[in-house]
Amino acid sequence: MPRVSLSYDNEQVAAVLEEIADLSDLKGENPFRGVTYRAVARAIRDLREPLRTLMEQKRLDTIPKVGPAVQEAIEQLLTTGRSKRHEDLKAQVPQGLLTLLRVPGVGPATARVIHEHLRITTIDELEEAAQSGKLRSLPKIQAKTEENILKAIASLKRRTGRALVVDARAVASDMVGWIRGRCDLQQVEIAGSLRRWRETIGDIDIVVAAAEPGPVMDAFIAAPEVEQVLARGDTKSSVIAGRGLQIDLRVVAPASFGAALLYFTGSKEHNVHMRGLALKRKLLLNEYGLYRVGEENGTPVASRTEEEVFAALGMDWIPPELREDRGEIEAALAHDLPDLVTLADIRGDLHAHTSWTDGRDSVADMAARARAKGYEYLALTDHSVGLGMTHGLDLARIRARTKEIEAANVALAPFRILVGSEVDIRSNGQLDYEDELLALFEVVTASVHSSFAQPRDVMTKRILGAMEHPRVNAISHPTGRLLEKRDAYEVDLEAVIQVAVRTHTRLEVNGGPERLDLSDAAVRRAMDVGAMLVCNSDAHAVEELDQMEYAVATARRGWATKDRVQNTMPLKDLLLHLKGKG
């Protein structure tokens, strides 16, 4: 499950420890060592406080599985940014073996065999060898493995190197905070794809209104997270900041702020269409303002705010999430933009996990946080039993958890925890619980967690079958994609959407930052066809309940309106809907 570490340090240390585990496996050391390093990495991602604090208070050894060697590695990483053990292993393991390990389906044993026999160290070489059938002749490698490796490489190559919104947001808001703290500014806004909530981000764009650009630019390039200054000018500067992300900063005169924000929010396609529309009215639209043609050096018709610019063109203000030239300009001209669902419309969350399965926090803590967010309800949908790795709930544990939920509900009323389940759809299409067990839940969401490589018709049947079940209220993360990590499985999404309409099964827009599943485009199709949606966080820890924001943003990019999102309903209506699946 996607996890976001508490701090950047924690994340970096966890990543290096995982690499130590990989390298130690590749070297053929005692497998126990790799297991330990990976377990510690996971524990670090689950920490609720910065590792640095633990080190300062000499509590690193309280992290599960941390012995003296691992502790030393962590301390070295925190103080010097390097670990001796990591460096030593890197020097001993042939370069390129780690690269091979990046291909899903290639484990340490396979990587070593391939390297030993064919001296392969790059993914391109691996692809060539697989294409020419050289891998299957190696010991312990089958034709099927070779085929899977080819598929995995094709999918790796489709990866874009773009950042997740969650990472870009962290870097951008640190920078905005830094600049705000140092300069006297009129306005600061994040623009570009991040303001539009695109699912991945190429670079971060920030627009600032200030009478004097100099001090703003100075503050920008002096920010602590800046790794490299690419350019420093009077109107635009660019840096590489944390996580290797580029930030472009524009400083404009306050009078041009609206026009600049509009321009740098994009998208490019949206801008091109807007500019064409303006020209038809003998107006010129650029990053400084909207001008009568021929008066570009004079006073603009509008420029100070986005609203003024849109209004001067006879349009309603367009929410940034829609600015992709997918019909929003026509709709704004016709005063017919959709009334998009907002975060404030959300009354509860219908997909979250607790420490009963693979979540970090207790029933009471999850519920308290949901209530503090202003929700009326929270469905705790711990995993079904078949997912062995996450200790799914069997009958006894379902009962015990329900008891705990009922007690918590007495304490929290009128807030309501719903007894939920995320039931696995097995590879044969069966649900992981018998009907008698499913009947023990107030809300059931079904999802695929295994056999992702099934042929399209098999996978489609598998999901459609679950939707036909009267107790299945929703399908979670319907395509299974992990952004920049794993492609969606092959599935006839059109059929899924059609059957969702007929069976009144909700399709989830999952807010996990790596998932955003359904995607914006799929949401749009679901909206057109008439399917109902549910926006969920899929939280595995209290702070991940905030992932609802990503779900709502994705739904908005797909033109979703409040009336089509199930968890905008008050509790009373929701309970009726869940029962009848209506």
Tell which one of 202, 242, 254, 465 touches ligand DGT (CB under 6 A): 202
Q: Which of 2, 34, 108, 192 binds ligand DGT (CB under 6 A)?
A: 192
Nearest of 421, 498, 473 to residue 580 by alpha carbon: 473
Kindly list the distances between the CA atom of residue 84 and the CA atoms of 17, 75, 90, 92, 273, in Å, as whole numbers in the listed order.
12, 11, 10, 12, 56
For residue 258, state whether it binds ligand DGT (rule: CB under 6 A): no
Q: Applying CB under 5 A, does 320 fall inside the site for Ca ion?
A: no
- Contact range with Ca ion by CB under 5 A, out of 100-108, 109-117, 201-209, 536-544: 201-209
Q: Which does 268 bind (CB under 5 to 8 A by kind): Ca ion, ligand DGT, Zn ion, none?
A: ligand DGT
- How would you write 168-200 as a 3-class SS string? HHHHHHHHHHHHHHHCCCCEEEEEHHHHCCCCE
Name the region of 364 (left: φ>0; alpha: ψ -120 to 50; beta: rest): alpha
Among 9, 248, 422, 432, binds Zn ion (CB under 5 A): 422
Q: How far is the CB of 164 from Zn ion (least distance, A)?
A: 18
Binder of Zn ion out of 328, 538, 544, 549 (CB under 5 A): 538
Query: How would you write 87-136 as a 3-class SS string?
Result: HHHHHHCCCCHHHHHCCCCCCHHHHHHHHHHHCCCCHHHHHHHHHCCCHH
Answer for the pair 135, 147: CB distance below 8 angstroms, yes or no: no
Distance CA 561, CA 555 (A): 8
Phi, psi of 336 (to 5 degrees): -130, 30
We find the least distance from the C-beta atom of residue 231 to Ca ion, in angstroms, to be 12
- Residue 368, both tokens: 């308290």
The one-letter code for the residue type at 216 is: V
Region of residue 81 (phi > 0: left; psi between -120 and 50: alpha; otherwise: beta)? left
The DSSP call for residue 424 is E
Closer to ligand DGT by CB, 274 or 350: give it.
274
Shortest distance (Å) from residue 108 CB to Zn ion: 29
∠ CA(67), CA(72), CA(75), 5° rounding?
125
Nearer to Ca ion, 211 or 230 (CB): 230
Helix (H, G, I), strand (E, B) or coil at 563: helix
Q: What are phi and psi of 486, to 5 degrees?
A: -145, 130
Stretch that binds Ca ion, among 4-12, 203-211, 372-380, 433-441 (CB under 5 A): 203-211
Tokens of 33: 């060592």
The minimum distance between CB 195 and ligand DGT, in angstroms, equals: 8
- Hey, what are 103's tokens? 């291909």
Is 443 in a helix, a strand, or coil?
Answer: strand
Q: Which stretch binds ligand DGT (CB under 6 A): 107-115, 174-182, 201-209, 237-245?
A: 201-209
Q: CB of residue 263 vs ligand DGT: minimum separation in angstroms?
A: 6
Which does residue 538 touch among Zn ion, ligand DGT, Ca ion, none (CB within 5 to 8 A, set by kind)? Zn ion
Name residues contacting ligand DGT, limited to 264-293 (CB under 6 A).
264, 266-268, 271-272
Q: DSSP letter at 393?
A: B
Give the amino acid at 138.
L
| Stretch binding ligand DGT (CB under 6 A), from 28-36, 120-128, 196-204, 518-526 | 196-204
Instruction: Choose between 9 and 538: whose C-beta lies nearer to Zn ion.
Output: 538
Nearest residue by C-beta to ligand DGT?
266
Q: Which is nearer to Zn ion, 25 or 422 (CB)?
A: 422
The helix/strand/coil state of 287 is coil
Binding segment for Ca ion (CB under 5 A), chosen from 41-49, 240-248, 282-290, 508-516, is: 240-248
Nearest to 363 by CA among 372, 352, 373, 376: 352
Find out whether 196 and 324 touch, Cβ atoms under 8 Å: yes
Measured CA to CA in angstroms, residue 353 lies from 343, 349, 378, 411 at distances of 21, 11, 10, 20
- Distance from C-alpha of 474 to C-alpha of 463, rounded to nearest angstrom: 11
**272: partner contacted, choices Zn ion, ligand DGT, Ca ion, none (Cβ within 5-8 A by kind):** ligand DGT
Q: Residue 46 interacts with Zn ion (CB under 5 A)?
A: no
Answer yes or no: are the C-beta atoms of 459 and 491 closer than 8 Å: yes
- List the single partner that 271 binds among Ca ion, Zn ion, ligand DGT, none, CB under 5 to 8 Å by kind: ligand DGT
Residues 424 and 530: their CA atoms lie apart, in Å, by 26
Q: How much is the CA Rg of the chain, to the nearest whole Å? A: 26
> Could you say whether residue 517 binds Ca ion (CB under 5 A)?
no
Q: Which is nearer to Zn ion, 130 or 387 (CB)?
A: 387
Of 141 and 423, nearer to Zn ion (C-beta) is 423
Q: Which stretch binds ligand DGT (CB under 6 A): 191-199, 296-304, 350-358, 445-453?
A: 191-199
Among 36, 110, 121, 193, binds ligand DGT (CB under 6 A): 193
Q: How far is the CB of 155 from Zn ion (least distance, A)?
A: 23
Of 182-190, 230-238, 455-463, 531-539, which segment contacts Zn ion by CB under 5 A?
531-539
Which range in 92-100, 141-149, 197-205, 509-517 contacts ligand DGT by CB under 6 A? Answer: 197-205
Residue nearest to Ca ion (CB): 192
CB of 144 to ligand DGT, least distance (A): 38
| Residue 35 CA to its chain's centroid (Å) | 27
We find the least distance from the C-beta atom of residue 568 to ligand DGT, in angstroms, to be 29
CA 261, 264, 265, 270 torsion-angle sign: positive
The number of residues that bind Ca ion (CB under 5 A) is 5
CA quadruple 180, 185, 189, 192: dihedral sign: negative
Examine residue 544 and tell whether it contacts Zn ion (CB under 5 A): no
Part in contact with Zn ion (CB under 5 A); list of ranges 12-20, 277-285, 419-427, 525-533 = 419-427
Contact positions vs Ca ion (CB under 5 A): 192-193, 203, 205, 248
Contact positions vs ligand DGT (CB under 6 A): 192-193, 198, 201-203, 205, 263-264, 266-268, 271-272
